[in-house]
């Protein structure tokens, strides 16, 4: 087997395994990450709904073997079979936004092939045989597309994908047929929520071919004023058109958010200062905090830092808090399973440590 052979894995709990938390991309204070996914299926295999375990194993083997060091963003190739991971390790991958819940649910024949810092990866045997995924910090739609397109071109030189002259790339779900492309940004919009303009904005984007979801994508709730905005259709437009449309509308949403922050600073500065300082004070002193409460408080702190109402906190540290305070990361840090109360105590301790500067300067960039 090549360097991507299963068993040449990685520790998903290691910081630095993903680059999206670094906070060093364009508009990083508002946009956490940009993702591109390309859905592809092998020509000579049944699609997942009609395939047996032997078909899925053979498909997995062909796809993993087609990836080589030096390909696109794969300077180093690491591959792991999800069926060999513990429940905690699978949850770590979910929290890192490297895999989907669907891939985890079908873990028996599923694999993750990971490039450097999670910027490029392959999700094998999810809804489709393979999904090429790029995940970058900040607002980098065109760069994420460039990387995905390059890897797609490499794989098409080694594998035969199911393609129809009239319909384009064929996928398990008809809504992905055509380009097979899903482009999305994870964006923080607290000022639009506070000024009650968010419904108008979300309704507007839904009328022009985009949709929104929560922090973990499809089926997840919006929490902490974080929204995933993505294209709704993949058929009838080219990949470039879809990518440019998302980039254009996202830029407009960023401008709406920035304008809303200016309105808050002009018309409700006392209330906003009180809100963000209360959030900062609670997080700096709390001895136990739930994830949902922390997300809402961190949203306020992130807003306060951006508006220069609070002591400077790096975007990198704010992003780390979103990641490291989730359940699987807390348990990995503690080295054991945690009860709900123990997790709340551990989470509060980690928040105090990071906000207090105890871990600053050890990794990453950002402010």
Q: In what order do the strands lie in the sheet with 78-81?
A: 78-81, 111-114, 120-124, 130-137, 31-40, 181-188, 226-231, 210-213
Q: What is the pTM of this model?
A: 0.88
Same domain, 281 and 140: no
d(CA 284, CA 73): 39
Same domain, 286 and 249: no
Residue pLDDT, tens place only, 174-219: 888 889 999 999 999 999 999 999 999 999 999 999 999 877 656 5
For residue 292, give its domain range.
Answer: 269-355
Same domain, 49 and 167: yes
Same domain, 218 and 122: yes
Banded pLDDT at 11 (limits 50, 70, 90): low
Q: What is the pLDDT of residue 176?
A: 85
Same domain, 145 and 51: yes
Q: Which residue's entry shows tokens 């999904």?
A: 131
Same domain, 113 and 243: yes
CATH of the domain at 131: 3.30.590.10
11 part of a folded domain: no
Residue pLDDT, tens place only, 75-130: 888 899 999 999 999 999 999 999 998 899 888 889 999 988 889 999 999 999 99
189 part of a folded domain: yes
49 part of a folded domain: yes
- At which of 225, 259, 293 does a domain end? 259
Q: What is the pLDDT of residue 343?
A: 97
- At which of 231, 259, 287 does a domain end? 259
- At which of 236, 259, 282 does a domain end? 259
Same domain, 118 and 232: yes
Number of residues that this document lists for the chain: 367
Same domain, 63 and 183: yes
Same domain, 185 and 293: no
- Name the domain count of the chain: 2
Cite the DSSP H helix spans in 106-228. 141-156, 190-194, 198-206
10 part of a folded domain: no
Same domain, 71 and 150: yes
């Amino acid at each position: 087997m090549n360097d991507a052979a299963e068993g040449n894995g990685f520790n998903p709990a290691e910081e630095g395994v993903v680059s999206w938390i670094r906070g060093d991309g364009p508009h990083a204070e508002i946009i956490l990450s940009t993702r591109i996914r390309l859905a592809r299926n092998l020509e000579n295999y049944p699609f997942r709904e009609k395939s047996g375990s032997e078909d899925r194993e053979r498909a997995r083997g062909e796809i993993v073997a087609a990836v080589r060091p030096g390909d696109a963003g794969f300077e180093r190739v690491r591959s792991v079979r999800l069926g060999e991971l513990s429940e905690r390790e699978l949850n770590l991958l979910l929290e890192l936004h490297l895999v989907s819940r669907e891939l985890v649910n079908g873990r028996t024949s599923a694999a993750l092939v990971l490039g450097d810092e999670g910027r490029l990866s392959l999700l094998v045997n999810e809804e489709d045989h393979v999904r090429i995924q790029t995940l970058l910090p900040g607002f980098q739609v065109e760069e994420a597309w460039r990387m995905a397109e390059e890897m797609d071109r490499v794989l098409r030189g080694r594998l035969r994908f199911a393609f129809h002259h009239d319909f384009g790339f064929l996928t398990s779900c008809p809504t992905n047929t055509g380009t097979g492309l899903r482009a999305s940004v994870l964006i923080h919009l607290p000022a639009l929520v506070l000024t009650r303009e968010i419904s108008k904005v979300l309704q507007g984007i839904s009328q022009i071919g985009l949709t929104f979801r929560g922090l973990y994508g499809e089926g997840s709730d919006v929490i902490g004023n974080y929204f995933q905005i993505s294209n709704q259709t993949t058929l009838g437009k080219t990949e470039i058109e879809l990518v440019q449309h998302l980039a254009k509308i996202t830029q407009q949403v960023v401008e709406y958010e920035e304008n809303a922050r200016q309105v808050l600073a002009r018309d409700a500065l006392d209330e906003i200062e009180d809100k963000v300082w209360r959030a900062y004070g609670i997080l700096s002193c709390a001895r136990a905090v739930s994830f949902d409460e922390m997300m809402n408080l961190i949203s306020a702190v992130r807003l306060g830092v951006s508006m220069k109402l609070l002591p400077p906190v790096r975007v990198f540290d704010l992003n780390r808090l979103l990641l490291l305070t989730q359940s699987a990361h807390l348990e990995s840090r503690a080295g054991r399973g945690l009860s709900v109360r123990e997790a709340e105590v551990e989470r509060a301790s980690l928040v105090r440590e990071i906000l207090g500067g105890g871990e600053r300067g050890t990794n990453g960039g950002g402010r």
